[in-house]
Structure 1
Amino acid sequence: MSTSRTRRAGAFAALALVSTLALAACGSSDDGGSDAGATNASGITTLESGKLKVCTHLSYKPFQFKEGSDVVGFDVDLMDLVAKKLGLEQEIVDIDFAQITSGAVFAAKKCDAAAAGTTITDERKKAILFSDPYFDATQALIVKKGSGITDLAGLKGKKLGVQTDTTGQSYAEENKGANGYEVVVFDDLSTEMAGVLAGRVDGAVNDNGVVYDYAKDNPTTEVVKEFDTGEQYGLMFKLNDPNGQKLADTANEVIKAAQTDGTYNTIYKKWFGVDAPK
């Protein structure tokens, strides 16, 4: 969901392990090699014939969110290109974000790939296979207009909202001692942003792409500060799996081609209103 998104150590790690085991128990009993379902002409196996099942965590506008009965967004359009390359149709699976970044969704055979505005981190690389980076992101602070808050220091004695299991949460936790605010954790982006709007928190930190989009749609809020965290998003696949590697390789080919032929810029401009950074 930037999602940019990193799990804290300790209890979170233990929870991820339990969740992985629980999800795996719900999946197929076949635990070897590629998770066989249907193999297409490219030699890539997917869980369901004709489908590329892609896990995400809704809502994370404008990367993936519901518009009527359809799931749309930047990540959705990008994964449509990957599916098309494979001669498949993308099918979205909405699931808890921690289940994606822990690799549990792949162990449980819930999806072939995942796209959820997710920051590539060394910790996450231990559980999932990332594609090449496809989007640059950083953390940003959103507040209500007229609050007088312009940075983290202005939140001393106040409440700062974060989304659970994200790099925004990690950034807020790392800096709360120096700035004296209380961290309030929300389950998803929608409730985090609603917390700012309703005054439950005095500000919130999340990826710049999503907070700017929210401020555009909610003019009583404003983004007052960006923090140079140097994050990059990656698409996700099953780690230590030949089939997962083939999917990642295909995704990398698609990303490179889209950036070269202008398709990436077209998608970027569609969702962000400006040309993609060079």
Structure 2
Amino acid sequence: MKTRALATGIAVALSLTAAGCAKDDTSTTTESGATLINGGTLTICTHLPYEPFEFTEGGEVVGFDPDVLKIAADAEGWDTEVVDIGWETIVSGEALNTGQCDVSAGAMTITDEREAVMDFSDPYFEATQALMTKAGSGITSLDDLAGMSVAVQDGTTGADYVRENAPDDTKIVSFEDSALMQQAVKTGKTDAGVNDNGLLNYFVSENPDVEVVNEFKTGESYGFSVKKDSNDDLLTIINDAIASDEYDAVYEEWFGTAPSE
């Protein structure tokens, strides 16, 4: 794992955009047939931070997701720009529908509900839900959280999993972003936290006072999304990036191993 950008660098600008504010239509169709809201630049919506998938370092957005999308952009000779907006604006499809970006990213699980409002790329990361606690807590399962508290992140499949599977008397504390959710566990504000395994395993590697004590096989896959029924050529370019040797190299840079077949 790593905490810096790839040696080749990734020049993406961090922009703050008010959720729900549509932009004037300046979109163009590229030679490859893909539609971009700003010709020559692939504009990416995400919600920060979500290490190691996307986070800010040295004034730039870095992480696995922007690096994968940079493979797609480089193949077309495009620049990249990252826009940080609310997670609900992303998963509802509003960010794409209002022209705030060309593609949405954010370790986003492909679900039927989301596929109804967005078109997804091929899966690019297999994920499970993980349970994180303070080191040595003695908690090993959701059942152990009866009468205790657990942190989740708003609008995530992890939050849904906890609501469906935790004991009825578990106190579920919801946070707007992953950093707040993780800090709640680290500082003892909650007894445990549940979120995607890639996120929590990375956090544990940097914070030895917490540990992942269990993972739950939920059959989840992440995908990048584009506006519904309107940008198949961009999806093809992104899928080609996911299938490339460059993707394998980026995966190994961020996670320390080659992707499983």
TM-score for the superposition, normalised by structure 1:
0.84
Which of 173, 179, 202 matches 2:163?
Answer: 173
2:17 equivalent to 1:27 = no
1:273 and 2:247 are equivalent in the alignment: no
Q: Once the two structures are aligned, what percentage of the paired residues are identical?
A: 42
Q: What's the counterpart of residue 127 of structure 2?
A: 137
Question: How much does 1:36 deviate?
Answer: 4.8
Q: Distance in 2 between matches of 1:134 and 1:79?
A: 11
* 1:136-182 CA distance string (max 9 Å, x none): 0000000001211111111110001000000000000001246x311
* Aligned equivalents of 2:249, 2:40: Cα separation in 1: 26
Who is 1:247 aligned against? 234
- Supply the distance in 2 between the matched residues of 1:59 and 1:275 (Cα, whole angstroms): 24
2:178 counterpart of 1:197: no
Q: Aligned with 1:251: secondary structure?
A: helix
Aligned length: 243
| 2:150–2:193 Cα contact (<8 Å) kept | yes
Does residue 187 (structure 1) correspond to residue 176 (structure 2)? The answer is: yes
Structure (1 or 2) with the greater helix fraction: 1
Q: Which amino acid aligns with 2:154?
A: T
Task: Find 2:81's aligned residue among 74, 91, 94.
Answer: 91
Once the two structures are superposed, the pairs formed by residues 102-181 of structure 1 within 5 Å of their partners are: 102-177=92-167, 180-181=169-170
Find the aligned partners of 2:31 and 2:39 in 1 and give their Cα distance: 12
2-structure distance, mates of 1:147, 1:135 = 30
Distance (whole Å) between structure 2 residues aligned to residue 44 and residue 204 of structure 1: 40
**What TM-score do the two structures reach when normalised by structure 2?**
0.89
Aligned-partner Cα distance in 1 for 2:87–2:47: 5
Match of 1:74 among 48, 64, 86: 64
Decide whether aligned partners of structure 1 residues 93 and 47 sit closer, same or farther in structure 2, where only a CA change above 3 A counts: same
Contact 1:23 1:107 in 2 (8 A): no
Moved more, 48-57 or 209-218: 48-57
- Code of the residue aligned with 1:235 in structure 2: it is F
Task: Quote the Cα distance in structure 1 between the aligned partners of 2:45 and 2:188.
Answer: 32
Letter in 2 for 1:72: V
Distance in structure 1 (CA, Å) of the matches to 2:167 and 2:142: 11
CA distance in 2, matches of 1:62, 1:199: 23
* Contact 2:34/2:233, CA 8 A, preserved across alignment: yes
1:130·1:236 contact (CA, 8 Å) conserved in 2? yes
Q: 2:218 matched to which residue of 1? A: 229
Q: Secondary structure at the match of 2:112?
A: coil
3-state SS in 1 of match to 2:180: helix
Q: Distance in 2 between matches of 1:268 and 1:253?
A: 15
- The runs of at least 4 consecutive aligned structure 1 residues that moved more than 4 Å come to none
Gaps of 5+ in 2: 1-18
Query: C-alpha displacement at 1:265, in angstroms?
Result: 2.1
Name the SS for the 2:89 alignment partner. helix
- Counterpart CA distance in 1 for 2:238 and 2:85 is 21
Other structure's SS at 1:123 match = helix
Q: Report deviation, 1:194.
A: 0.4
| Cα RMSD after superposing both structures | 1.4
- Between stretches 247-256 and 115-124, larger displacement belongs to 247-256
DSSP 3-state at the match of 1:58: coil
Supply the distance in 1 between the matched residues of 2:189 and 2:257 (Cα, whole angstroms): 32
SS at match of 1:91: strand
* Matched AA of 2:182: M
Query: How far, CA to CA, are the matches of 1:103 and 1:193 in structure 2?
Result: 26
- Cα pair 1:136 1:231 within 8 Å, conserved: yes
Counterpart Cα distance in 1 of 2:248 and 2:39: 31
How many Å separate the matches in 1 of 2:113 and 2:27?
30
Q: For residue 276 of structure 1, give the secondary structure of its aligned residue in structure 2.
A: coil
Displacement, 1:47?
A: 1.0
Question: 2: distance between equivalents of 1:124 and 1:232?
Answer: 13
Q: Which position in structure 2 is the counterpart of 1:210?
A: 199
